[in-house]
Amino acid sequence: VSENSQPILMIDPGHGGTDPGASGHGLIEKNMVLDISLYQYNRFKELGVSVGLTRNNDTFIDGTSRANIVVSSKAKYCISNHINAASSSTAKGAEIIHSIHDDGLFAKVIANSLADAGQVLRPTATYCKSNAQGKDYYFMHRQTGNVKTCIVEYGFLTNKEDANRLQMNWIPYAEAVVQAFCQFVGHDYSEPLIKTDENVANKSGFEDVPNHHWAAASITKAVESNIFTGVSKERFYPDRNVTRAQLAVILDRAGLLK
Ligand SMILES: [Zn+2]
């Protein structure tokens, strides 16, 4: 799903489709990591970082195909987004797992940035793990070869405080990882052009635009000002493309045409 022929960075929203990943306190990992990943994808494009995604909708991708998408993109870096679950409800905080062949510096920069954004870190916030054969334990490290892949676990859906923090603050946490990548590779970083204002979000009540959607505030304003409405009363389809004809009408309604 890469728009650029050769992205420097691949963002991988974990799970998808028939594989929901972790769930707890009303949140489902596959949806939350897709929101986080789409937010980061748009932010990286805004910052001029060539970026791709392993999935941009709710589809299932098996592990080998997922790793192959990353490898064939020829990207140098991969951020694999996940949210944790544990049998103990007290386990909480973010952790970043890097390859056994990686010095772990990128993971440390991400961990520090998440802490600056207010997320709790696990006691061991960054680490690597090998299997019985002495290879990387996780397939995303084992099968992505020379790509510098970090698995970012933003917190635990099975912990009430973490789930609450994630629901309220997933945008600042997603942004923290964007900032960390820019810092690590030495790319110019600037704050988002559009800030999501939680207070005006989702008054229009679309089922597919949750309060925490990164564009919720702008979508609400577009609908309220009658410039750009939903496909139905219930659905806005935030990730569908706009046609050239629709764009002309939107520009006209926005008063930008003479
Ligand atoms: Zn996961």
pLDDT digits (tens, 9 = 90+) for 94-117: 999 999 999 999 999 999 999 999
Q: How far, in Å, is the centroid of ligand 1 from the Cα of 29?
A: 7
Q: How far, in Å, is the centroid of ligand 1 from the Cα of 141?
A: 14
Binning pLDDT at 50, 70 and 90, where does residue 199 land?
A: very low
Rounded CA separation 157/112 (Å)? 21
pLDDT score of 198 more than 50: no
Whole-number pLDDT of residue 235: 80
Whole-number pLDDT of residue 191: 87
Whole-number pLDDT of residue 192: 81
Whole-number pLDDT of residue 229: 83
Q: How far, in Å, is the centroid of ligand 1 from the Cα of 34?
A: 11
Question: Where is average pLDDT lowest: 78-82, 148-152, 210-214?
Answer: 210-214
pLDDT > 90: percent of the chain: 74
Rounded CA separation 192/43 (Å)? 7
Does the global pTM surpass 0.85?
no
Q: How far, in Å, is the centroid of ligand 1 from the Cα of 31?
A: 11
Q: How far, in Å, is the centroid of ligand 1 from the Cα of 255?
A: 45
Binning pLDDT at 50, 70 and 90, where does residue 237 land?
A: confident
Q: How far, in Å, is the centroid of ligand 1 from the Cα of 201?
A: 28
Q: How far, in Å, is the centroid of ligand 1 from the Cα of 161?
A: 19
Q: How far, in Å, is the centroid of ligand 1 from the Cα of 149?
A: 14
Q: How far, in Å, is the centroid of ligand 1 from the Cα of 47?
A: 27
pLDDT score of 4 more than 60: no
pLDDT score of 60 more than 70: yes
Average pLDDT over residues 60-74: 97
Q: How far, in Å, is the centroid of ligand 1 from the Cα of 43?
A: 22
